[in-house]
Amino acid sequence: MTRKYLAIPQFDALPAPVYFRYDEFGADTHSAAHRHAWGQLNYAAHGVMQLEIGGQHFYSPPHYAVWIPPDTEHSCYNPQAIVYRSVYLTRELCAALPAQACTLVISGILKAILGDFASRDVHIPQDPADQRLAQVLVDQLQRAPMQTCYLPYAQSPGLLAVLQALHAEPGDNRALGEWAAQVHVSERTLARQFVRELGISFGEWRQRLRYLRAIEALEGSQSIQEIAFDLGYSTPSAFIAMFQRQARCTPEQYRRQARRA
């Protein structure tokens, strides 16, 4: 099957210190590896964007964005359709932002500004009010909580085997002790590996994986109950509670918003 590659904007230099880009990408689309002299915030207002940066996979579900510093090679893959928002920043404005690629937690203010500019198709803030909003957005980015990666991956063979098995079957409800026995370590050792290598617990990692899969599933026709059971939840209400903590809306609200978008 021929890959569908996305067009990458070509600038010799940014047309403004802060430049905004908006698009909608279809399912199964890619961008080839590239780099540029400015920093870039990648955010999916709906759907999940997957980026590869320095051999590591980064995910951008709603309320999280991926920050890419200047001169950093990156590529992306979109398994499902997404509503895309991006902010380009000159090298000077990147000085107060992370020097390494990372995930940033998007505040309500930042999300509102991106949504407002997208609705009015503002690429370069021109009038004083929009310029002030752009400055607020930069301030919010500089203050945004940082995570190394939303869904980090492992290097050690035993832990990697557990993560790959969960990726293949996110609804697998085996407890940590059962996974530990499968890779021939103690439960305590495996728990420490999760925290040491990934920075989060086994339970948190599995929940994040299920959240990402839920977003993908909500683009389809499955019922909320079917999605909940497929992801290993014993009741739809338990799944809805998890999703609401992550997305700040119910699965049904998210689905309606995605269809409107």
Which pLDDT value is given to residue 3? 67
Full DSSP string of 143-161 = HS-EES-SS----SHHHHH
Which pLDDT value is given to residue 261? 60
**Tokens at 141, concatenated:** 């980015």
What would the pLDDT profile of 69-107 be if each residue is shown by its tens digit?
A: 999 999 999 888 899 999 999 999 999 999 999 999 999
What would the pLDDT profile of 3-18 be if each residue is shown by its tens digit?
A: 688 888 888 889 999 9
Spans of the chain below 50 pLDDT = none
Q: Supply φ then ψ for residue 240, to 5 degrees.
A: -60, -40
Which pLDDT value is given to residue 260? 72
Q: Structural domains in the chain?
A: 4-147 (2.60.120.280), 157-260 (1.10.10.60)
Which pLDDT value is given to residue 12? 85
Per the CB < 8 A criterion, the answer to whether 213 and 171 are in contact is no
Q: How far apart are CA 113 and CA 132, in angstroms?
A: 11
Ramachandran quadrant class, 35 (left: phi over 0; alpha: psi -120 to 50; beta: rest): beta
In angstroms and rounded to an integer, the radius of gyration of the C-alpha atoms of the chain is 19
Which pLDDT value is given to residue 2? 60
CB atoms within 10 A of CB 231: 24
Mean pLDDT (the chain) is: 92
